[in-house]
Amino acid sequence: MKRTTPLRAALTALLLTVGLGAAHAGTASAAPLPEPAAAAPASAGLLDAMRRDLGLTAAEAEERLSAEKAAVEVEKAARQRTGAAYGGSWFDPATGRLVVAVTDRAEEAEVRALGADTRLVRHSAAALDRAKARLDTLHAPAGVAGWYVDPKTNSVVVDVVRAERQDPDVRSFVDRARAGGPVTVVEKAQPPRTYAAGTVGGDPYYTGNVRCSIGFSVYGGFVTAGHCGQAGAAVRGWDGSAMGTFQGSSFPGDDYAYVSIHSGWWTVPVVLGWGTIPDQLVRGSAEAPVGASICRSGSTTHWRCGSVLAKNETVNYSQGAVYQMTKTSVCAEGGDSGGSFLSGDQAQGVTSGGWGNCSSGGETWFQPVNEILGRYGLRLHTA
């Protein structure tokens, strides 16, 4: 049995290899995970983290989490009802409601009946996805940070590095992008980078001289970022002992990997709260909408929160483009790669990279977890 941590609840006894590194020294025996009190929508620690990072009171945070949970179901229903007229959707924190874009005014009444607000737009989500897919076939210069479909502007947003805005290759890429559909250009101060780090202390897992963070437990191992290691690479745990092996890895193009674990390690449906909040149970992987609050756990900057900014974004790292990423306002730093993104108790994805840090701020992308599960035929370990 490997390391456990003095957690706040009985699920401590099982926490060995779960999300973002194992915890601190101590000996414990396996025990069933208890069900948390159903009446508590969120722990005090989670609410405090949302207060710190999103500027919310505890009551506002609870109200937002409840509204976001409802918005997930409304989004599914609205997408079905509107069909080809669906133009995308996003959660509006100011109103606590989902906004659904539609290309046909006749669809607005039915969407409103579901409990959502509407916006009439010119381009359908399918048309924007096709425009974005055309960009995915182009070679992007280093001065182009990425691109994604933005339902709010009803366009494909192309992020360019401010210092490279006038570079001929960047201008040529933007021109070609505009020729393929509606495009909005946004300037960024820095290019994206991955968040792997050299071997340092903390609660990591290691492969070679790289430190990364565990994402989510699956039966037989865990998922993490692909840039952290190649298939066949050995993984060491927090104490340097043999922990597992990368069974599959993809980067660039994708940024995901699956690590199988050795005897002596096991998995539990928990993500570390790092003392900021109680360790969190994972109960599923329902996808949160754009605008929803989201939190991240990583072995360097621990527990951080923000909002979902965009989905299906192509991120142009120096190593190559990565597709179908989700962008957030959550900060991260070196060593956080591979770590968990959660919305409430629902797994969202594993940390890939971003720009900035947790002192000055920035943005971070994650690889959606459901794509990883489907790619490797894995089953998420849930409570």
Helix (H) or strand (E) holding 341: strand 340-343
Catalytic-residue membership of 302: no
Distance CA 85, CA 303 (A): 39
Which candidate in 255, 279, 336, 345 is catalytic? 255
Q: In terms of DSSP H, where are the helices of the chain?
A: 44-54, 58-82, 108-113, 125-136, 168-179, 369-376
Distance CA 320, CA 252 (A): 5
| Amino acid at the residue 362 | G
Distance of CA 4 to the CA centre of its chain: 26
Beta bridge partners of 220: none
What angle do the packed helices 58-82 and 44-54 form, to 10 degrees? 80
333 near 198, Cβ under 8 Å? Answer: no
Catalytic-residue membership of 337: yes
Q: Which of 338, 383, 281, 303 is nearest to 8 (CA)?
A: 281
Distance CA 61, CA 49 (A): 10
Numbers of helices and strands, H then E, in the chain: 6, 23
Which candidate in 249, 337, 340, 352 is catalytic? 337
122 near 105, Cβ under 8 Å? Answer: no
Distance CA 285, CA 343 (A): 9
Catalytic-residue membership of 139: no
φ, ψ (nearest 5 deg) of residue 40: -90, 110
Distance of CA 139 to the CA centre of its chain: 25
Which candidate in 89, 124, 227, 307 is catalytic? 227
**Coil, helix or strand at residue 295:** strand
211 near 245, Cβ under 8 Å? Answer: no
Q: Which residues, 6 or more positions from 186, have their beta carbon under 8 angstroms from its beta carbon?
A: 157, 158, 159, 160
φ, ψ (nearest 5 deg) of residue 242: -60, 130
381 near 216, Cβ under 8 Å? Answer: yes
Question: So which residues are the catalytic ones?
Answer: 227, 255, 337
